[in-house]
Structure formats: C-alpha cells, structure tokens
A and B are shown apart, each in its own frame.
Chain A
Amino acid sequence: MKKTYNIDNKGYYGEFGGAYIPEMLYPNVEELRQNYLNIMAETSFQDEFDQLLKDYVGRPSPLYFAKRLSEKHNTKVYLKREDLNHTGAHKVNNTIGQILMAKRLGKTRIIAETGAGQHGVATATVCALMGMECIVYMGEIDIARQAPNVARMKMLGAEVRPALSGSKTLKDATNEAIRDWINNPVKTHYIIGSAIGPHPYPDMVTRFQSIISKEIKWQLNKKEGRENPDFVVACIGGGSNAAGTYYHFIDDEDVGIIAIEAAGKGIQSGESAATSVLGKEGIIHGCKTLLMQTSDGQITEPYSISAGLDYPGVGPLHSHLYTSGRAEFFSATDDEAMAAGLELTQLEGIIPAIESSHALAIFSHKTFKPDDIVVISLSGRGDKDLQNYIDYFNL
C-alpha cells in the first residue's frame, strides 16, 4: 500500500489527533464522527455544496500567474485567489460545508469561535443564509480591536458573546464555545473554524477546504499542462487554508509542501506563534498536537501581528507533516510579513490579509529555481487589516 500522511481509521495523523474530550461532549462528537463521511458522500449534499460554492462563494477562485512577483523572485509564482471569495477569505468554504452538515444532523442552533472575526463573519453569513440562530464567541480583547468584524456579525444577525476567561483571546473564545456545547448538547452544532479540535473536526474541515487544492490541480493543468506544482505554500495558524491547499498533494512526494508560521517579534522574543519550533506535544481543545506550553503543561499565549495566526497550537495534520519531515516549516516575523504584503500590493495590485502576507514572506527564507512552479495560497484579502497596515507603514 502507498504510504499516506492522511488520517487513519482511529482519527490520528501519525501520533497526533484523536478526541480528548470530556464525556459531556462525547455524544455530539460521536454523532458527528459516525455521520460526517456518509453525509458528505450523499449526492444531494455534494450538489448543494458545489452549487453554493459556485453561485454564492464565487468559486472556482482564480489561479493567477503573478508575473511581476515571479520576475522579482526569479521563479514561477501562482497565487490561489481565496481572497476573492465571498466574505474575503477561505473560511467560507468550511462554514458552507458545516452549515449543510448541521442541517442534515437536525441542528437548529450554531455556535462558533473567532479570533480576528473572519471565521465569525463567515459563520454568521451562512447562518443568515440558512436562517439559523448564531452565537459567536470572541475574546473580550479581540472584540475591542476588531470592531468592524463585530459590527458585520451583528448586522448578519449573530449574537457576539465576549469570552471573559483566561487571556480573553482566541483560545479562550474556543474554550467558551466548547463550554456552550457542553451546556447545549442536543440541538447545537459547533462550527470550528480551523483544522483543529477533536476528531472528526480536523478531517472534516480539511475535506471542506480541500476544494482549494482540487481546483489548483485542474487549473494548473490548463495553464502549464501539469497538475502538480513543485511547491505549495501556505501560512499556518490552526492550519485550515494550509490543509486545503496541501490536501490533494499530501501523498505526492514530488510536490514540496511549505508551511509558514508567524514568528511574531522573533522566535526567541517571547512574543511569537511559531508552534513547530516552540511547541511540544500535548492536548489542546480536544486533540493531541504540537502546542505552546510551559514545562508544567499550561498553555501559553502566542503573539503575532496577524490575529488569524495567533493560536498556540497547529492542527494535528500539520504536526504530523512537520515531525515526519513531509513538510518544510518556516516562520516569518511581523516585519517580514508586512514587507511581503506591501511588495505584493505594489507589484501586483493585490492587498493581502496579513495572514497571507506570511505565506508571501517565503521568499525571505527560500530561493526557488527559475523553472519551479510555486503555488501560494492567498488565503484572504487585506481590507480587514487596513488599520494595521496604516499604523505599521504610517500611511
């Protein structure tokens, strides 16, 4: 049998993954585990999912040959334009899939966590679309610094509940969403926004996001006469855009997989989110994965200028890709990412989300050959980050 880096039948990627959850969550997670693959395989599900991705999200997202960026770095760079999706990022691929899943499971109430607010907006959007009750947990500190997304969610009819515990950011919003699920076990579905959480979430989110690499294959074939690029590049917080970008290439070892984490102010600065370097194996939000923690096993607070990469763990798939050596991991500092974002803006007329700017910072860390084909996931657009760019560049 061909070697696979994908999930095994017990819900693990190598030694990572599983479902380390309190018994209170077991019936919900087990219901999902028993049904998700069957539901995703239903023709009616696939038809509805495909139709919404096409007509509502605007897929396929273009695979754009970035000519001037390619010339600058002396290689062939394609950008997978997830930034052109409805709501401005890849997040909506997953929320469309999960809201359809929730409907088929008979759920009427949706909860979600959000950091910067992108996943919260994508969840509030599909709840508005389907007429479902929506509650989004968001750290009190993030609510204060992401006011436009809070307003969007409210306008879409969602209730935004502040997470007041711990550090009052993304990891605490995730804790609060999990606690809500414990307290509302029957009619509620939890739409996790990244490739994290107890099995089957990392696999389910990865499958919904895998539309990204599915499209890359046929789009690249049309443009270059080959389905596989030499490299696929994505930024990683929890890792959902990366998981989707890698998915159809994971077991094709002639495709190089590159992950860029957020180094923040520098890996050793104490203000970083570079989990592969700083993390150790442990349990966070229901899965075994690499996470940043003290020697005593307390989860620590990450830092990045990009709120979407500001998570103390990575999804279990990525932990496996890292420790097995299948993927190359790099980390970009705030400064490198901001410079790469500005470079893309000025060479190609595209303002990227700061998360995606981290992926673009690969050129500060790796030199490609002139005839290499490098596909970079442009996971989101920069509108939401305008204030950060203004502050950083004194615009």
Chain B
Amino acid sequence: MNRINKKLQEAKKLLSIYFTAGYPNLNDTVSILQRLEKSGVDMVEIGLPFSDPLADGPTIQASSTEALKHGMTTKTLFNQLKDIRKTVSIPLLIMGYFNPILQYGVDAFCQECQNIGIDGLIIPDLPVNVYNEHYRKTFEKYGLVNVFLITPQTSEERIRFIDSVSNGFIYMVSSASTTGAKTGFGQEQTAYFKRIANMNLNHPQIVGFGISNQETFCQATQNAKGAIIGSAFIRFLDNNNIDDIKTFINSIRNA
C-alpha cells in the first residue's frame, strides 16, 4: 500500500507541510525534509518551482523565483532526493505545474518518482478530465497517488467525479484564492468544510490555503482529515534557521 494511503488510515489529524525545493538555498531540500519528519510532520509536499505559478500568491512566487535563480531544475531535485528513503519515511509528494513535468516526459517523471520513493503528485493545472483520459494509466503504473483540488465553487457533481478519479486524498482549497492570500476562517469556510464532510466521499479531505497557525489548523481539521501549511512555513524559513523548524511545527501542533 502507498505510504499516503497508510498514513490516511491513522486516527490522528494530519499535518502536512509544503516548501519550495531550492529555497532558501539550493541544497536545503534533504535537510528540510529530515527536520520536518523529526518534528512530527505527517506528510510533505515538495514544491517543484515554476517560472509562472498561476495559483500561487506572492510568498510562494518569490520562493519559486529564488529557487530557479539558485539553479533548481527537475533533474537537480531528483538528484537531491535519490537517497531520501534512507533517512525519511513519511509520505512525500511533489507539487508542481504541468509544463516542467511535460518537458521532462510524463512517463519518465513518474518512473523517476517511483524509483526515488515519491508517493504522490499534486499538479494544479493538470485538469481531472485530461488526467483521466491521458495520464491516469501512467500514474497508476508507477504506483503514484494523484491529488486533485476542490474549491468552495466546485459543484457537487464535479466533486463526486473528482472523488471517483482520486486514489489518495482530496485537496480542499479553503477559499477562492491563491496561496497565502487569506488569514483566518469565517463562517463561510466552516460551512463549506461541513458541507463537504457531509458528502461522505470515498476519499478523505485535506485542507490547504489559508492555514498559518494553530488556530486555523484546528478549525480546518475539525471536519477534515488534515491540513497543509505552505506560505506560512516559507515565511518562517525567510526569517529563521532551518534548524529551528521544530519550533514552527510545535507552534502548530502542541495545543
């Protein structure tokens, strides 16, 4: 069984962290992953930087631009990760835009993920219908979980379709926004989280966008399996040493 699906069976609420590979420094990737695991993080999304990240707000845009300046490429990332399973055992996903993956070759990319021990992919601009028609078999051949996004505007019919195509969890975008745009959840979000929970989908939901601290983590996970923190973690890395990652994770987790 894929590490993601095993993790999803655990009873606790899951904390997942996103960071941009190649940021703050080109070769921080492995050190960050090791520290995240030691700090008790359940799952990590490794961001593959892209020149034109449409769905991202200023924080992740800036980290991507910096990472590319440092020389991060798909090959470099795979090289950095080649021995990652010797030291890190939590589920790992790569999150990135479709064009760099298309240029690498979708089959070759997926194969390399399997070789390394990457468990899943999140590709925001690969639509569910294109995936289903053209790429699903490839992803499944290499044992990869593919994660789709839903938003407060996604229709019930489409959510059910996405659920039927999913093979891990559903990435529940908390509000209509780019990453890092909003802070705090209002009644509207709470109602949306409940509405989705009441749909009794086959796959658990993990909330992303707008989670930055313990309060928003707790709110998000009241009706969902877990939550993802991205921009807030990158802002922490801007101002702190990677050896202090545990401080950040403790501030979210330890109630």
CA of A18 to CA of B133, assembled, Å: 13
Question: What 1/0 flags go to B10-32 for Cβ under 8 Å of A?
Answer: 00000000000000000000000
A62 within 8 A of B: no
B181 within 8 A of A: yes
Q: Check if A182 sits within 8 Å of B124, measured CB to CB.
A: no
Please indicate the chain A residues that have their CB under 8 angstroms from the CB of B135 in the complex: none
Count chain B CB atoms within 10 A of each CB in A182, A284, A285 and give the residue with the most: A182
Which residue of B58, B73, B178 contacts A296 across the interface (Cβ within 8 Å)?
Answer: B73
Please indicate the chain A residues that have their CB under 8 angstroms from the CB of B103 in the complex: 280, 282, 293, 295-297
| Closest Cβ–Cβ distance, residue A377 to chain B (whole Å) | 29
Please indicate the chain B residues that have their CB under 8 angstroms from the CB of A175 in the complex: 52-54
Give the interface size class of chain A. Answer: 35 or more
Which residue of A183, A282, A297 contacts B178 across the interface (Cβ within 8 Å)?
Answer: A183
Known contacts A20-B130, A297-B103; A166 and B151 CB within 8 A of each other: no
B108 within 8 A of A: no
Question: What 1/0 flags go to A164-192 for Cβ under 8 Å of B?
Answer: 01100001100100110011111000000
A155 within 8 A of B: no
Question: B150 — nearest CB in chain A belongs to which residue?
Answer: A23
Question: B98 — nearest CB in chain A belongs to which residue?
Answer: A283
A/B pair count, beta carbons within 8 Å = 115
Please indicate the chain A residues that have their CB under 8 angstroms from the CB of B56 in the complex: 179
CA of A298 to CA of B57, assembled, Å: 18
Question: A283 — nearest CB in chain B belongs to which residue?
Answer: B99
B149 within 8 A of A: yes
Q: Check if B125 sits within 8 Å of A183, measured CB to CB.
A: no
CA of A293 to CA of B126, assembled, Å: 19
B154 within 8 A of A: yes
CA of A186 to CA of B151, assembled, Å: 13
Q: Check if A182 sits within 8 Å of B178, measured CB to CB.
A: yes
A231 within 8 A of B: no
A21 within 8 A of B: yes
In A359-391, which residues have CB < 8 Å from any B CB?
Answer: none
B233 within 8 A of A: no
A322 within 8 A of B: no
Question: B65 — nearest CB in chain A belongs to which residue?
Answer: A166
In A132-183, which residues have CB < 8 Å from any B CB?
Answer: 165-166, 171-172, 175, 178-179, 182-183
B74 within 8 A of A: yes
A27 within 8 A of B: yes
Count chain A CB atoms within 10 A of each CB in B52, B151, B178 and give the residue with the most: B52
Which residue of A165, A283, A296, A299 contacts B125 across the interface (Cβ within 8 Å)?
Answer: A283
| Closest Cβ–Cβ distance, residue A56 to chain B (whole Å) | 34
A22 within 8 A of B: yes
Residues of B within 8 A of A (CB): 50-58, 61-62, 65, 68, 73-75, 97-104, 124-128, 130, 148-151, 153-155, 158, 173, 176-178, 181
A to B CB contacts below 8 Å, 6 in the list: A24-B153, A26-B127, A186-B176, A283-B125, A293-B99, A297-B99
Task: Other than A296-B104, A299-B99, give 20 A-B pairs with Cβ distance below 8 A.
Answer: A23-B124, A23-B151, A23-B154, A24-B177, A27-B154, A166-B52, A166-B61, A175-B52, A175-B53, A179-B55, A179-B57, A183-B177, A186-B153, A282-B102, A285-B52, A286-B54, A293-B99, A297-B50, A297-B74, A297-B102
